[in-house]
Structure 1
Amino acid sequence: MKSICLSIIAVVSFCLVPNAVYSQTAVASQTFEPAWESLATHKAAPEWFQDAKVGIYFHWGVYSVPAFASEWYPFYMHRPGRVFDHHVETYGHPSKFGYHDFVPMFTAEKFDPDDWAKLFYDAGAKFAGPVAEHHDGFSMWDSNATPWNAADMGPKRDITGELFASLRKLDMKTIATFHHARNLQRYPTMPEPKEGDVDRRDRSSSHYLNVEGYPTSSDDAKLQRLYGNMPEQQWLEEIWFAKLKEVIDQYRPDIIWFDSWLEKIPEAYRQKFAAYYLNEAEKMGSEVVIVRKQDDLPLSFTVNDHEKSREPKALPETWMTDDTISKGSWCYTDDLKIKGSPQIIHSMIDTVAKNGVMLLNVSPMADGTIPENQRAVLAELGKWLKANGEAIYRTRIWESYGEGPTQEPAGGFKSHSKFTNLEYSDKDVRFTRSKDGKHVYAMILGWPGSGESVTLRSFGKEMAGANTDIKSVAILDTGESLAFTRDDSGLQVTMPEKVNNEIAVAIRIDVQ
């Protein structure tokens, strides 16, 4: 086990000044200063990110061991309710069997980074990576900031380092996601509900409650680093910032993504992180991306993310959705239900047509197995993208993002259940265009049928594509030419006798 003292010394030597104020002179020779005006000069979405369109990450950690309810198990096991009752019945009272007692059971003996990287690559992802740390305080990398990390405990493997090495062998970009803004214990008990709460989780920005007799209230310095039981200033420097700095220094992720509750981190520390990451990337000649939710960081230099939801219309700026392959928990549970491949493919197409990037979550088991039902969906996604990727990768939005009766609701995460239940049909169409402007791609979200005529109304009189001159129309994956006519109502395209994939039919329209 690494010495915590060494970590503290490293952090102190880096700061050199009082933590509450980040010295301007310390970064005087850097391009980016820890100030919003300076950070705003960073391009939020570099060209490679705009081109990538699809990424994969995974919720996998100590919370995968109980495989019950969700990745919020450590939150709910300390509070009265279903998870608490399950924990008491299965493992014992939290005062006797704490969350840290699950760590030795997180074995990951079947984790194969080359296999995972190839699986993600074959699924069509252009970048991938782990939930580097969820709210629970356990780090999925080789850490000096905390003894509670995958290299020193549990798997005793550098999960992030091994996977990043395998991804880079396939020329894939990397992402590390951070959810640890909640880890600090900010409240001793659950606050009273507030009007507008989505659920009881929003009533506490602390993942662990400091309950007398529970490990969460221990004065043991080692346990405090897992349960976030320490003074805020110490936690901000030695945990929140130190962990980000470690991952940047050791692994150079191309994307750092933040979950909600980042607003609980003081503005000076958010600026400090962003300046450090962007300056380190510039030293390496890397174009990196910072993704955030809510209004936690300015959009002048970051990309906005929608959890389990999407934009209702196309935006001029690139955005992201993080969605899960499952219908429930983000992590593996014994009763996890998996979405069908049409739902995943249709969601991706809708996202890209609106200038978005899809970050798809998978849910490995505690031993490192990615279940076959999830692999099957990834294989179908990859099959579709291999045949029709020209309509997705390196594309940009067209004059119309789409047409048809199925419309996405506004409201973001508040409408996530509506997004989960959306069903598209062959009456729904989404459009993209090639960067050189020579092609428009129409993706029909279903199979209209052999010889059926489909009217693309976006090409009609007084519609967005009215002035687009059409040279030819063909099925994208086979190149088979399609008969077409055009009138004031739109572009009428006759479907072929059959297609290779009926989940979504991609048509290439060559334009002048």
Structure 2
Amino acid sequence: MKKLTFIIPLLFAFFAQAQMEHEITDYVWPTDEKVLQKLEDWQDLKFGLLMHWGAYSQWGIVESWSICPEDYGWCERKKGSNPDDYFTYKKEYENLKLSFNPVNFDPGKWAEAAKNAGMKYVVFTTKHHDGFCMFDSKYTDYKITDKECPFSVNPKANVAKEVFDAFRAEGLWAGAYFSKPDWHSPYYWDPKFPPLDRNVNYDPAEHPEKWEKFVEFTQNQIMELLTDYGKIDILWLDGGWVAQKSEEEMTRYYERIAQNPGSGFPKTREVNQDIRMDELAAKAREKQPGLIVVDRAVKGPNQNYLTPENKVPETQLPYPWESCIIAGGGWAWVPNPQYMSPKQAIHMLIDIVAKGGNLLYNIGPAPDGTWPEDAYKLLDAMGKWIDVNGEAIYSTRAIAPYKSDNICLTQQKDSKAVYALYLEQEDGAGLPASFTVKGIKAAKGAKLSMLGAGGTLKWENTTNGVKVYIPAILRTNLPCDLAWAVKISAVE
């Protein structure tokens, strides 16, 4: 297991709780050649957009989790008329459907901003754990298109379809986030039993017919998305606790409880919740050949890439991966969200790409269907930097030593070119007159140049690596700010 480190600790301290932890698990490579090719293409994209949006956005709270009876500070109930009464709170939470009316929803504006920022794919929350559908599912009335939701009369009421269409029109891939657990479904949280935690509130082994109804419900909704919503490139499944558990896993769980008599169950139980993922993935790829399936945090062949959450690995990982990171505020919209600075965001993107990963950057739309202006400003700044330096980002792969001090490395996958990306130091001093790229040496006759600037740079190999000289005329007229990419045509 690779050790992970937090980035920007003040921003992410709130999200360092158990529900946000997605540890790196063993990876199983797909065997489908179309999926392997799709993964290769996906690794070229490097930068995507994630959006958490739903009726919960009206309260400016953590999405879904406050209706889950697990005792964590980050999902404390603070809204509604009586947040101390769980059942009153849950009813009022679900009644947010009755007032959700994002009349300023304009997915074309989002898609244009994402494209200009250099993003290449979108992952949109079609349904979070609360079960509220942002698409026109025929299997539930808990959805934005239901007649009781005021937005249902809007021509853009089928939000997921509008989002996917708008982003595809700008040339981006479409990814559907879908929650496997559904806390609104009577087949998952049976109203006859109180919910105990995030899991199904009955024993599927004791009620197999009821569980089968949930499996059918889940698979039917996913197949709706893959049948009626155009080309879908990524099926991004959340809720890793909904998974098949082996007999050995369940035995170990009950042994732990037996060894601690009187302690009761832990906050989150282990429950075998088999939704037949192999069957589902096969059906999904009949509709969408080559579909990337991301069964998050579930070891096996249906986790086509891994998704460390609000974290960046310390080094390169030997499989496809993507850090999903909050740009500002929370996953869902919160009042007055504070976004990363362009410097933080660009340096983070470079760090991730240097280690072979993608960045999936989350922006939570407001309840009226808009983005905060600061989100547009941040993406605009990132886009201006990528316009100059995209050659060092897209279609690159990791090359050792990945990162030394404040210099990251990338390599074009189909050429010998290596890029040394110098991250501006905290003092904002720009580029020094020279710096050494440790761990690599330029090949004899190699040419070095700065992306976005004309001419070549002087260099020499030293015992530590290749030393690059930046002339004063260039240092006072740099092609961009915050980070600079030096292209090395060939290395030893």
TM bin, normalised by shorter chain, reads: 0.7 to 0.9
Task: Please say if residues 82 and 88 of structure 2, whose CA atoms lie closer than 8 Å, have aligned partners that are also in contact.
Answer: no
Pick one of 407, 417, 420 that aligns with 1:439.
Answer: 417
Q: Which residue of 2 aligns with 1:30?
A: none
**8 Å CA contact retained: 1:87, 1:93:** no
Q: CA RMSD in A?
A: 3.0
Amino acid at match of 2:411: R
Q: Which residue of 2 aligns with 1:332?
A: 333
Q: By how many angstroms is 1:140 displaced? A: 1.0
Equivalent residues of 2:48, 2:120 under 8 A apart: yes
**Structure 1 residue matching 2:294: 3-state secondary structure:** strand
Q: How many residues align?
A: 408
Query: What one-letter code is carried by the residue in structure 1 that aligns with 2:387?
Result: K
Cα distance 1:469–1:288, how it changes in 2: closer, same or farther (>3 A)? farther
Residue 330 of structure 1, CA deviation:
0.6
Shift of 1:94: 4.6
Q: How far is 1:476 from its partner?
A: 0.7
**Cα pair 2:450 2:456 within 8 Å, conserved:** yes
Distance 2:432 2:243 in 1: 57
> What residue number does 1:288 align with?
291
State the match for 1:172 in structure 2: 172
Correspondence 1:110 to 2:104: yes
By relative contact order (CA 8 Å, sep 6+), the higher-ranking structure is: 2
The answer to whether 1:61 aligns with 2:54 is yes
Go from structure 1 to structure 2 and tell me whether the alpha carbon gap of 1:400 and 1:469 turns closer, same or farther (over 3 Å shift).
farther
Q: Distance in 1 between matches of 2:318 and 2:68?
A: 40
| SS of aligned partner of 2:132 | coil
Aligned to 2:239: 260
Query: CA 1:38/1:480 → structure 2, altered by over 3 Å: closer, same or farther?
Result: closer
In the TM superposition, what is the alpha-carbon distance from 1:72 to its structure 2 partner? 3.6
3-state SS of paired residue (1:84): coil
Q: What is the correspondence of 1:214-253 to structure 2 with a 5 Å cutoff?
A: 231-238=210-217, 240-251=218-229, 252-253=231-232
1:315 corresponds to which of 317, 321, 334: 317
C-alpha distance in 2 between matches for 1:291 and 1:78: 25
Shift of 1:122: 0.9
Partner of 1:348, secondary structure, is: helix
What's the CA shift string for 1:385-440, capped at 9, x where partnerless?
Answer: 11110101111222331211xxxxxxxxxxxxxxxxxxxxxxx1111111232311
The superposition leaves residues 323-355 of structure 1 with CA deviations (integer Å, 9 ceiling, x where unpaired) of: 1102x5210111432222222212211111111
CA positional deviation for 1:231: 3.0
Structure 1 residues 478 and 37 mapped into 2: Cα distance closer, same or farther (>3 Å)?
closer
Rounded to whole Å, the distance in 2 between the matches of 1:289 and 1:38 is 12
Q: Is the 8 A contact 1:263 1:296 kept in 2?
A: no
| Percent of aligned pairs with the same amino acid | 25
Q: Distance in 1 between matches of 2:479 and 2:389?
A: 11
Letter matched to residue 402 of structure 1: K
2:442/2:488 contact within 8 Å kept: no
CA 1:348–1:159: 2 relative to 1, 3 Å: same
| 1:481 and 2:456 aligned | yes
CA-CA distance at 1:124 after TM superposition = 0.8
Give runs of aligned pairs for residues 34-433 of structure 1, distance below 5 A.
40-42=31-33, 43-44=35-36, 45-68=38-61, 70-72=62-64, 74-75=66-67, 83-88=76-81, 94-95=87-88, 97-152=91-146, 153-156=149-152, 157-181=157-181, 183=183, 184-185=188-189, 188=193, 204-205=198-199, 231-238=210-217, 240-251=218-229, 252-264=231-243, 266-267=273-274, 269-282=276-289, 287-298=290-301, 302-326=304-328, 328-404=329-405, 428-433=406-411
In structure 2, relative to structure 1, the CA distance for the partners of 1:120 and 1:472 (3 Å cut) is same
Distance (whole Å) between structure 2 residues aligned to residue 323 and residue 73 of structure 1: 18
Instruction: String of CA shifts for 1:477-498, please: whole Å, max 9, x gaps.
Output: 2234222222212111123323
Listed one character per residue, the Cα deviations across residues 258-314 of structure 1 (whole Å, up to 9, x for unaligned) are: 2232543644621121111122223xxxx3211232234436x71111111122221
1:443 maps to a residue whose letter is L
Letter in 2 for 1:105: S
Choose 46-55 or 386-395, whichever is displaced more.
Answer: 46-55
SS of the counterpart of 1:398?
Answer: coil
Do the aligned partners of residues 37 and 453 (structure 1) sit closer, same or farther apart at CA in structure 2, a change above 3 Å counting? closer
Q: CA deviation at 1:92?
A: 9.1
Aligned to 2:151, the other structure's residue is in SS state coil
Change in CA separation of 1:467 and 1:387 when aligned onto 2, cut-off 3 Å = closer
SS at match of 1:155: helix
Q: For the residues of structure 1 that align with 2:279 and 2:445, how far apart are their CA atoms?
A: 51
Which stretches in structure 1 are left out of the alignment for 5+ residues?
A: 1-35, 192-202, 211-229, 405-427, 460-465
Inter-partner Cα distance in structure 1 for 2:465 and 2:199: 52
The TM-score, its normalising length taken from structure 1, stands at 0.73
2:485 aligns to what? 506
Determine helix, strand or coil for the equivalent of 1:456.
strand
Shift of the 469–108 alpha-carbon distance from structure 1 to 2, 3 Å rule, reads farther
The separation in 1 between residues aligned to 2:76 and 2:335, in whole angstroms, is 14
Q: Deviations over 1:422-479 (max 9, x none)?
A: xxxxxx11111112323111111115645521111112xxxxxx47446111111223
Greater mean deviation of Cα atoms: 84-93 or 104-113: 84-93
CA distance, structure 2, for counterparts of residue 93 and residue 294 of structure 1: 29
Q: CA–CA distance in 1 between the matches of 2:220 and 2:304?
A: 21
Alpha-carbon distance between aligned partners in 1 of 2:32 and 2:395, rounded to the nearest angstrom: 24
TM-score (norm 2): 0.75
Which amino acid in 1 is paired with 2:31? A
Structure 1 residue matching 2:418: 3-state secondary structure: strand
